[in-house]
Amino acid sequence: MSTTGSAADPHPLIAVTGASGALGGRVARRLTRAGVPVRLLGRDPSRLPELPGADPAPPAPYGDGEAMRRALAGAHTLFLVSAHESPDRVREHVTAVDAAVAAGVERIVYVSFVGAAPDATFTFARDHWDTEAHIRTTEVRHTFLRDSWYLAGIPAMTGADGVLRGPAGDGRVAAVAHEDIADAATAVLLADTDPTGPSHDGRTYDLTGPEAFTLAEAAEELSRATGRTVTYVPETREEAYASRSGYGAPDWEVAGWVTSYEAIATGEMATVSDAVPRLTGRPAKSLAGYLREHPDSCRHLLLPG
């Protein structure tokens, strides 16, 4: 395994977790195109992309501190994409962070969530707060990227019956595109390669779309994109739990699904930030723009024939 990179090198080695996923993979590709040495980490190394200048690491689950330490040896910066939701996610994050510190990593860029707080309505946002709090206790330089709901989730959460349902009331959400998060993250990660550029140390950026919309407005946008009528049905909490009970998911996961909508209702997802255009130099994608660029995201909503 290569140990390319140090704080003094023009291109210090960046370790990218979740490199086989939607966000980590995008970031890894952008970094390699910029000529930066990258180490790819993923739950299944066979699914890691083959990229020039990228070094695939052996399996290193977040919760395996020794495996993470070995995988991060020689890395200057860790891009830490949050682990899949689980009851032990905070412990897994803490283990990964401690392994990074033990391996000598000097900088962590962590993908958090907008509205992260110890009392956040969205239960998974509390996990992100706890992870941020642990990173702050280390002496490692750090930046937090708090992204909003994914724009990709809007059509994905709409049923084939053309109904988007959840206890979001008339609240608003400033959903953001994966591409915008990846571009913003890349700008932050590349800052260390340009000594004349801005420092992002100790900064927290809310990564959002350009506008906050209600789910009723989202349904209207989906209707325009698909040519069929898509509607939003606001549920009560009881209705939301009942409508999701058939998936066979554990209670903690269903609570996460339901409270994500409830956080919209309380206004905790309405934040609109200019961080994406400030970091990337271009406007953030709107829902309408996203649907135009990704028509396949609505394929399940198209009527037969």
Sequence-ordered strand ranges (E) for the chain: 14-16, 38-40, 54-56, 77-80, 107-113, 141-147, 163-166, 204-207, 231-234
pLDDT of res. 53: 85
* Residue 29: predicted pLDDT: 97
pLDDT at residue 258 in the model: 97
14-147+178-206 architecture in CATH? 3-Layer(aba) Sandwich (3.40)
Residues 33, 60 contacting (CB under 8 angstroms): no
Q: What are the beta bridge partners of residue 55?
A: 39
> Percent of the chain, pLDDT > 70?
96
To the question of pTM greater than 0.85 for the whole model, the response is yes
Task: State yes or no: pLDDT of 15 exceeds 70.
Answer: yes
pLDDT at 156: 96
291 or 192, greater pLDDT: 291
- Cβ proximity of 112 and 132 under 8 Å: yes
| Confidence tier at 152 by pLDDT (50, 70, 90) | very high
Task: Flag whether pLDDT at 7 surpasses 60.
Answer: no
Q: What is the mean pLDDT of residues 112-127?
A: 98
Nearest to 14 by CA among 235, 189, 144, 177: 189
Kindly tell me the sign of the dihedral angle through the C-alpha atoms of 29, 222, 125, 205: positive
For the chain, the average pLDDT equals 93
pLDDT at 197: 75
- Checking if the pLDDT of 305 tops 80, the result is no
